[in-house]
Structure 1
Amino acid sequence: MLKKRNTLVAGLFNLICPGLGYLYIGKLNFALGLPLLILFSIGVFTWSKFIFYPWGYSFILIVIIAIQITSTVVVCVMAYRSGETKLKSYNKWYIYVGYVMLSTILGNELISNRDKIFGYDSFRVVSKSMLNTLIPGDLIVSNTWKYKVRKPERGALIVFRYPKNPETKYVMRAIGLPNEVIKIANGKVFINNEELDEAYLDPNCNQSLSLQNPGEYYIPDHSYFVMGDNRDKSNDSRFWGFVPEENILGSVEYIWFSIDPTTGFINERTGKIVN
């Protein structure tokens, strides 16, 4: 059966689902190759750790959008020039539906497991426990492979599963390392009896540290003592204990962008490296 492929339909199909437009015009190799090209591009930029540079995340999105737009233009040109062509055995509506469903399922799996497959993740800050290093509305990019090959250093910002509810993810600072003794007294933190220099703290958020569960804490092996930078209002290891090593999900690399719940987009925080 000879039939001309509709140019607009081909373009629309490709916008709805990358590769579907090519399946519609009978180009199976392109239909299978386009999703693989997008996947390969993501892999190259993430496995090379380019994504962990400021603006890296945004650049990857721009590249993917550019591939999608270019492929849509190309499929429209190919459909326009094809004339009447013989329909392939897979030019059936139910094949198109199956292609979209399979692409959606695989895409969702990749997104859901990006921390394991690509080594990165993103999280939105919702609490005030890390003021003013991180504020509510910050969207941070995390390296989820970093602590698979090394241990967190003191002062590192880490993403971890809350020990009392592993479904909840927290971002705090690693203060005490395994087998150390933490002491909180007179508004100061001591590690093995040596005062800890915490230049990253904002004095305005730390006016009553001496009132927040002073005492000594011995950190077990393979565990960490974490604290928020907003010591006055941080629900951290002082109240619920230590973070097991296996609960640590990754590091905090930078702020992708920030949106204040009341005032909107905060330009000066976009691409900001935090430490």
Structure 2
Amino acid sequence: MNKKRSPFLAATLSVIAPGLGHIYAGSLKKGICLIIFECAILLIVGLSGILVTFHGILLFILAVFIFYLFSVISSARLALKNKQFGLKPYNRWYWYLCIWSILAIGSHLVMTYRTQLFGYQIYQVTANSMKPRLQTGDVIMVTARYSHPKVGDVVAFHTPLNEKVIYVKRIAATGSDTISIRNGTVFRNGKIEKTLEVPKNQREKPFSISMSTRHIPKGYVFLLGDWRDNSLDSRFYGIIPARDILGKAQYVWISPDAGRIGKIIK
């Protein structure tokens, strides 16, 4: 049975899943090659760590756009070429649906386990405890390839209060350190910790002005919010195991304030 291939339908299928339009237009080999190429590139890009940098994300988005554009144009041209095309066994709607379903399930699994596969995760900030560095509504990129906690790093972690809630704070002290607050200034190991300095108007409440010396055991960290007066942190729920840190915040991925997109988190 001969049936003309529609360039519009081929292009539409390529938008849904690159390679699917080529299969519809009569080239099973090209379609499968494009699907394999797409999966391989996604895996390589993810494992390389490019996706944990803002510029890497931009380059990745550009590359995906070019790839989709190529797939759409190529499949439409192939459909125009095959004006009298003899239908093959795979040219049935249920095969297209089956291929798309497999790709959709695969994509869902990759995104679900992207932390383990690619080493990054994204979280939305729901409070202003790290203001002005982070603001409510910011979606941040967090690298999970983080094993050496460092004072001054902004990290995402679970708290003893609720393991389902993810907090974002700044590491103020690590194992074997001592930490205290005097007149609103943070002292680590008896010396002023400059990386933890914040404006005076963010540390005016009693619990932000003074805190007795605390000793941090090995394997634990003490965390503080940048907006000391508006932060639920280690001053209240205590130290947390370093193993509960999910990763280091790298940059603002999406934000209600467009000017903050791509801002590096320091």
Same structural fold, with TM-score higher than 0.5 when normalized by the shorter chain: yes
- 2:60 corresponds to which letter in structure 1? I
- 1:179 corresponds to which letter in structure 2? S
Deviation by residue 1:162-210 (Cα, 9 ceiling, x = unmatched): 3332222221111110132222333222223333223652333222264
Deviation by residue 1:203-243 (Cα, 9 ceiling, x = unmatched): 33222264577233332331211111011100111111222
Counterpart of 1:182 in structure 2 is 179
2:186–2:197 CA contact under 8 A, matched in 1: no
2:181–2:208 CA contact under 8 A, matched in 1: no
- 2:166 corresponds to which letter in structure 1? K
1:227–1:236 CA contact under 8 A, matched in 2: yes
SS of the residue corresponding to residue 21 of structure 2 reads helix
Aligned match of 1:266 in 258, 262, 265? Answer: 258
Q: Distance in 2 between matches of 1:35 and 1:215?
A: 60
Counterpart of 1:109 in structure 2 is 109
**Structure 2: 5+ residue runs without aligned partners?**
none
Deviates more, 1:4-13 or 1:37-46: 37-46
2:172–2:196 CA contact under 8 A, matched in 1: no
- 1:159 corresponds to which letter in structure 2? A
Q: Distance in 2 between matches of 1:38 and 1:205?
A: 48
Counterpart of 1:77 in structure 2 is 77
Aligned match of 2:220 in 199, 218, 223? Answer: 223
SS of the residue corresponding to residue 226 of structure 1 reads strand
- 1:162-177 alignment runs, 5 A limit: 162-177=159-174
Answering whether residue 120 of structure 2 is matched by residue 123 of structure 1, we say no
Counterpart of 2:93 in structure 1 is 93
Report deviation, 1:92: 1.9
Q: Distance in 1 between matches of 2:69 and 2:161?
A: 46
1:209–1:231 CA contact under 8 A, matched in 2: no
2:128–2:135 CA contact under 8 A, matched in 1: yes
Report deviation, 1:130: 0.2
SS of the residue corresponding to residue 88 of structure 1 reads coil
1:155–1:174 CA contact under 8 A, matched in 2: yes
Answering whether residue 143 of structure 2 is matched by residue 143 of structure 1, we say yes
Aligned match of 2:203 in 191, 198, 206? Answer: 206
**Identical-residue share of aligned pairs (%):** 29
Q: Distance in 2 between matches of 1:101 and 1:77?
A: 25
2:183–2:210 CA contact under 8 A, matched in 1: no
Q: Distance in 2 between matches of 1:240 and 1:252?
A: 21
Q: Distance in 2 between matches of 1:87 and 1:77?
A: 18
TM-score with structure 2 length normalisation? 0.90
Q: Distance in 1 between matches of 2:50 and 2:197?
A: 26
- What count of residue pairs does the alignment treat as equivalent? 266
Counterpart of 1:64 in structure 2 is 64
Q: Distance in 1 between matches of 2:163 and 2:31?
A: 40
- 1:11-90 alignment runs, 5 A limit: 11-90=11-90
Q: Distance in 1 between matches of 2:246 and 2:27?
A: 42
Report deviation, 1:67: 0.8
Counterpart of 2:233 in structure 1 is 236
1:115–1:121 CA contact under 8 A, matched in 2: yes
Deviates more, 1:12-21 or 1:196-205: 196-205
Aligned match of 1:152 in 149, 152, 155? Answer: 149
Q: Distance in 2 between matches of 1:152 and 1:249?
A: 11
1:52–1:253 CA contact under 8 A, matched in 2: yes
TM-score with structure 1 length normalisation? 0.87
Q: Distance in 2 between matches of 1:103 and 1:219?
A: 48
RMSD: 2.2
